């Protein structure tokens, strides 16, 4: 029996084509699998005879026009069994299930009984009847599941069940079987659910399906026989290692039945490896896999059968690699000069880099999911439940990893968040406090976990299924996919290695958008240097006031009864801030540092519970009732739209004066003769030109005073955060007064939609599920609405001041699609949290490469 051929060029008709070296087959007409099989044929690999049906043919089949299957069958050995596999243009778009063993009938069973023994032949036949019944005739699967596979009359019962359910005997004619298989697969592709599924993966509405009909190499026989898959890498790590599965039929009597021995290629305690069983076939297989890697320019998983010691290659698919593996594979292919470095850069999903930077739950581990929410910061961590920042700190002091669980977090939780290994909140969205801080710190974080009920009084959480988890119990937060798991599943460590650096080095060669980091502390800045950020794009100075010792001084400043008292408190804060800035300048050694003046409403720094109020009263030597009254009087209904940002700078100008002085003094102290520091100062939440004029006047005055006092000169740049819709619309009015604009798309999204960044998590999944929003707009920039404001802002600002520097520093600055959009608007840089810097570098490079390819 001729199992494969390579030379005959033979076309049944224009659309049903024998796969030969020269046949006209393309992914756009016959699908990726058909094309790949042709490539394998061109490599002279032992591929069983295969016929490809084009998209047009399959479409016609779905409309009832079945090709002449009798003629189709004449291409194959009359005794062969056939399989039909889907061949969509992009394998990711999926397709109907492969159907095996077409042609099996009473006669074939009798013939195979002689070759394989009746048990194996009947088992094969019974499985075929069942698969045909369920996948092709669409009969009730239960009628077949009930049949005991070990019963001696299992085949007869399956045939009877078919006849009962279908009200006709099981079709014996192979041509009829094949016609029905083709019809059912073609129709399955047209079903609504299949269409929605592939469209979600980016398939166009009219995506076609091809089918390949292939002669089966059964993997049966008296000599070594079996089937399996093999690849030359470990798909989890991407390291060079032969891995795969092989099911040998030689020893099993009914080897097709589940439970037959699976023999792994690598040393397996359960039996001899394929290498030991069939060394020649194994060596050939490795050679074929290496040839496929070289010529198909990808690490390939080879699907094969061995029949009486002879090897057949049934198919090849790109190895389904983990994120970490994908990076190593791409880099090694480029190092081996199989692909170019640029191709390697384009082959890695930017998000995949995140998984190299953080430990992850092992994909092979069992997951006991107890809650879900928004995946706000990637990575996974296991620890004991803590419900307050203080408890988290206490556990950390005892070296017990802990998970901080809060309804939502506030600035006073920051130290507890630092102490925790992961953060989980009931409320919040992609740019709520917990999410922003969690990402900044690189802590795994899930927010908006609505289906976990938190009871702070009882110190417990209740899962949807009623299970209760108490303080101190162990849970795992998986911030990569937004899940909370019971217990401690197996983890994979972070895998930052040479491949990662090599890939980013290649990416930087094409990148034309600068990437900075949002860093508030020296630790963040150190991380930013590790990830090669081009400077600090946003230093949120308020985060510096939560260190022990500083908060009390801050509170004294807020409570100051007179301007003198306030100045005295600020005088204490000045050296602290100066030291902070000096350290940041030193760490960033010459790279730009953009410092945002104080932004949040002051009462965020005041306690909200009794114990905190008492502590504060003691520190300030005031009665608790006074402190409580003052705290209450400062409360606002809508603090995010209240006295914060530049409004605070206008009404309590001493705070910005102190910060400007700290920045300038630090500038002089950190500057070296050959390397002067040029700080950037950014004013938050601006909505009117006059705000900028007022702040600029005071900042200029402080600069002049510092120059005079120190007898030294320096320069600085002043900019505005554009995060209100009005600032976008009036950017042309504001631009002449500043050196740069940085779009704060967290607040801008909040204000454009009128959607609270802290509360949106409550209903975001409903909105996305019902397609009101394509995606959470705090996660991926809304190009239609918020993006339009960005476009208007940039156009008007550049019209008024062409040399103005424009950037983004909202959380979208770390989102690959948003980065590409910002680049297309002509921004100069994007700034994002430290652990997203590598993602941003790769995403920006890919956007640049896509443009270059398009225009070349």
Show which residues are catalytic: 433, 809
Could you write out the DSSP letters of every residue in 764-799?
HHHHHHTTSSSS-TTTS--TTTHHHHHHHHHHHHHH
Q: Which residue is nearest to Mg ion (CB)?
A: 747
The residues near 818 (Cβ < 8 Å, ≥ 6 apart) are: 745, 780, 781, 808, 812
How many residues bind to ligand PEP according to rule CB under 6 A? 11
The residues near 597 (Cβ < 8 Å, ≥ 6 apart) are: 541, 646, 649, 655, 656, 659, 660, 681, 682, 683, 684, 695
In the set 747, 758, 776, 782, which binds ligand PEP (CB under 6 A)?
Answer: 747
Helix (H) or strand (E) holding 600: none
Burial of 5 (0-12, 13-18, 19+ CB in 10 A): middle
Does the footprint of Mg ion cover residue 649 (CB under 5 A)? no
Tell me how far, at minimum, the Cβ of 598 lies from ligand PEP, in Å.
11
CA angle 792–796–801, rounded 5-degree value: 145
Q: Is the dihedral of CA 645, 646, 651, 655 positive or negative?
A: positive
| Residue with Cβ nearer ligand PEP (235 or 537) | 537
In the set 122, 254, 747, 776, which binds Mg ion (CB under 5 A)?
Answer: 747
What mask of x and - would describe binding to ligand PEP in positions 422 to 441, judged by CB under 6 A? --------------x-----
> Phi-psi bin for 221: left (phi > 0), alpha (psi -120 to 50), beta?
left
| Residue with Cβ nearer ligand PEP (122 or 747) | 747
Cα 744 from Cα 560, distance rounded (Å): 31
What mask of x and - would describe binding to ligand PEP in positions 511 to 540, judged by CB under 6 A? ---------------------------x-x
Do 524 and 517 contact (CB within 8 A), yes or no? Answer: yes
Does the footprint of ligand PEP cover residue 744 (CB under 6 A)? yes
Tell me how far, at minimum, the Cβ of 811 lies from Mg ion, in Å.
10
In the set 88, 305, 354, 745, which binds ligand PEP (CB under 6 A)?
Answer: 745
Does the footprint of Mg ion cover residue 811 (CB under 5 A)? no
By DSSP bridging, strand 491-492 and strand 483-486 are unpaired
Do 781 and 745 contact (CB within 8 A), yes or no? Answer: yes
Question: At 524, phi and psi to the nearest 5?
Answer: -60, -45
Tell me how far, at minimum, the Cβ of 423 lies from ligand PEP, in Å.
17
Instruction: Count CB neighbours of 335 within 10 A.
Output: 13
Q: In what order do the strands lie in the sheet with 422-425?
A: 369-372, 483-486, 474-478, 380-386, 402-406, 422-425, 445-447, 374-377
Burial of 145 (0-12, 13-18, 19+ CB in 10 A): exposed
What mask of x and - would describe binding to ligand PEP in positions 760 to 799, judged by CB under 6 A? ----------------------------------------
Do 752 and 783 contact (CB within 8 A), yes or no? Answer: no
Which among ligand PEP, Mg ion, none contacts residue 810 (Cβ within 5 to 8 A by kind)? ligand PEP
Does the footprint of ligand PEP cover residue 809 (CB under 6 A)? yes
SS3 593: strand
What mask of x and - would describe binding to Mg ion in positions 685 to 724, judged by CB under 5 A? --------------------------------------x-
Find the binding residues for Mg ion in span 397-416 (CB under 5 A): none
In the set 535, 744, 761, 834, which binds Mg ion (CB under 5 A)?
Answer: 744
Does the footprint of ligand PEP cover residue 723 (CB under 6 A)? yes
| Residue with Cβ nearer Mg ion (224 or 776) | 776
Does the footprint of ligand PEP cover residue 758 (CB under 6 A)? no
Please count the residues of the chain.
856
Does the footprint of ligand PEP cover residue 595 (CB under 6 A)? no
In the set 316, 438, 810, 838, which binds ligand PEP (CB under 6 A)?
Answer: 810
| Residue with Cβ nearer Mg ion (310 or 518) | 518
What mask of x and - would describe binding to ligand PEP in positions 823 to 852, judged by CB under 6 A? ------------------------------
Which among Mg ion, ligand PEP, none contacts residue 540 (Cβ within 5 to 8 A by kind)? ligand PEP
Tell me how far, at minimum, the Cβ of 518 lies from ligand PEP, in Å.
7
Do 120 and 62 contact (CB within 8 A), yes or no? Answer: no
| Residue with Cβ nearer Mg ion (496 or 729) | 729
Cα 298 from Cα 301, distance rounded (Å): 9
Does the footprint of Mg ion cover residue 600 (CB under 5 A)? no
Tell me how far, at minimum, the Cβ of 438 lies from ligand PEP, in Å.
13
Cα 288 from Cα 286, distance rounded (Å): 5
Tell me how far, at minimum, the Cβ of 589 lies from ligand PEP, in Å.
25
Which residues contact ligand PEP by CB under 6 A?
436, 538, 540, 599, 723, 744-747, 809-810
Which residues contact Mg ion by CB under 5 A?
723, 744, 747
């Amino acid at each position: 029996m001729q199992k494969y051929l390579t030379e005959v060029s033979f076309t049944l008709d224009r659309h049903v084509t024998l796969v030969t070296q020269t046949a006209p087959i393309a992914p756009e007409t016959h699908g990726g699998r058909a094309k790949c099989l042709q490539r394998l044929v061109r490599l002279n690999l032992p591929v069983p005879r295969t016929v490809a049906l084009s998209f047009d043919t399959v479409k016609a089949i779905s409309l009832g026009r079945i090709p002449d299957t009798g003629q189709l069958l004449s291409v194959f050995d009359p005794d062969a069994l056939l399989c039909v596999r889907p061949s969509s243009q992009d394998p990711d778009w999926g397709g109907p299930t492969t159907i095996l063993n077409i042609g099996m009938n009473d006669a074939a069973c009798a013939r195979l009984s002689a070759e394989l023994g009746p048990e194996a032949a009947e088992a094969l036949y019974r499985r075929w009847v069942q698969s045909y019944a369920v996948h092709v005739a669409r009969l009730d699967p239960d009628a077949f599941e009930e049949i005991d596979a070990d019963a001696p009359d299992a085949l007869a019962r399956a045939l009877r069940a078919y006849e009962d359910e279908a009200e006709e005997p099981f079709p014996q004619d192979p041509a009829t079987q094949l016609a029905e298989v083709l019809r059912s697969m073609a129709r399955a592709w047209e079903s609504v659910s299949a269409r929605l599924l592939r469209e979600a993966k980016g398939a166009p509405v009219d995506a076609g399906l091809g089918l390949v009909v292939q002669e089966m190499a059964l993997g049966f026989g008296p000599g070594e026989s079996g089937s399996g898959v093999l690849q030359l890498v470990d798909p989890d790590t991407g390291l060079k290692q032969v891995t795969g599965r092989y099911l040998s039929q030689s020893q099993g009597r009914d080897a097709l039945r589940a439970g037959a021995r699976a023999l792994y290629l690598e040393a397996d305690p359960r039996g001899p490896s394929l290498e030991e069983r069939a060394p020649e076939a194994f060596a050939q297989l490795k050679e074929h896999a290496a040839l496929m890697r070289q010529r198909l320019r990808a690490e390939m998983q080879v699907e094969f059968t061995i029949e009486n010691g002879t090897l057949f290659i049934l198919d090849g698919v790109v190895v389904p690699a983990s994120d970490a593996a994908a990076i190593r594979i791409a880099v090694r292919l480029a190092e081996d000069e199989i692909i170019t470095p640029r191709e390697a850069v384009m082959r890695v999903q930017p998000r995949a880099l995140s998984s190299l930077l953080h430990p992850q739950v092992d994909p092979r581990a069992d997951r006991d999911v107890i809650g879900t929410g928004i995946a706000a910061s990637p990575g996974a961590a296991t620890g004991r439940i803590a419900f307050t920042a203080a408890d988290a700190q206490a556990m950390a002091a005892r070296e017990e990893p802990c998970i901080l669980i809060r309804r939502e977090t506030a600035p006073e939780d920051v130290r507890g968040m630092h102490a925790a290994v992961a953060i989980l909140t009931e409320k919040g969205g992609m740019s709520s406090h917990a999410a922003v801080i969690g990402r900044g710190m690189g802590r795994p974080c899930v927010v908006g976990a609505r289906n976990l009920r938190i009871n702070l009084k009882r110190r417990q959480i209740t899962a949807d299924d009623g299970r209760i988890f108490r303080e101190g119990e162990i849970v795992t937060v998986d911030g990569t996919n937004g899940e909370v798991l019971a217990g401690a599943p197996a983890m994979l460590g972070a895998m930052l290695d040479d491949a990662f650096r090599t890939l980013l080095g290649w990416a930087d060669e094409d990148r034309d958008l600068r990437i900075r980091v949002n860093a508030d502390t020296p630790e963040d800045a150190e991380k930013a240097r590790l990830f090669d950020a081009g400077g600090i794009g946003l230093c949120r100075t308020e985060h510096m006031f939560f260190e022990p010792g500083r908060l009390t001084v801050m509170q004294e400043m807020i409570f100051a009864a007179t301007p003198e008292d306030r100045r005295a408190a600020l005088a204490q804060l000045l050296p602290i801030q100066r030291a902070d800035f000096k350290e940041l300048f030193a760490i960033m050694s010459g790279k730009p540092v953009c410092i945002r003046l104080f932004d949040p409403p002051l009462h965020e720094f005041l306690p909200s519970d009794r114990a905190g109020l008492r502590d504060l009263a003691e520190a300030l030597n005031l009665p608790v009732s006074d402190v409580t009254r003052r705290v209450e009087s400062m409360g606002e209904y809508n603090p995010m739209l209240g006295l914060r940002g530049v409004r605070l700078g206008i009404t309590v100008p001493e705070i910005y004066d102190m910060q400007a002085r700290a920045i300038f003094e630090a500038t002089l102290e950190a500057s070296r003769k050959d390397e002067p520091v040029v700080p950037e100062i950014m004013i938050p939440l601006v909505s009117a030109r006059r705000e900028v004029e007022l702040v600029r006047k005071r900042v200029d005055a402080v600069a002049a005073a510092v120059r005079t006092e120190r007898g030294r000169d320096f320069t600085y740049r002043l900019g505005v955060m554009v995060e209100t819709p009005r600032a976008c619309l009036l950017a042309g009015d504001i631009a002449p007064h500043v050196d740069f604009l940085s779009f704060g798309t967290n607040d801008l999204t909040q204000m454009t939609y009128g959607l609270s960044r802290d509360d949106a998590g409550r209903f975001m999944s409903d909105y996305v599920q019902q397609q009101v929003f394509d995606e959470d707009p705090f996660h991926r920039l809304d190009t239609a609405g918020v993006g339009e404001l960005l476009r208007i802002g940039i156009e008007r600002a550049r019209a008024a001041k062409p040399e103005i520097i424009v950037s983004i520093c909202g959380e979208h600055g770390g989102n690959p699609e948003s980065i590409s959009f910002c680049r297309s608007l002509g921004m100069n840089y994007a700034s994002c949290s430290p652990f997203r810097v590598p993602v941003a570098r790769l995403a920006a490079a890919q956007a640049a490469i896509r443009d270059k390819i398009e225009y070349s």
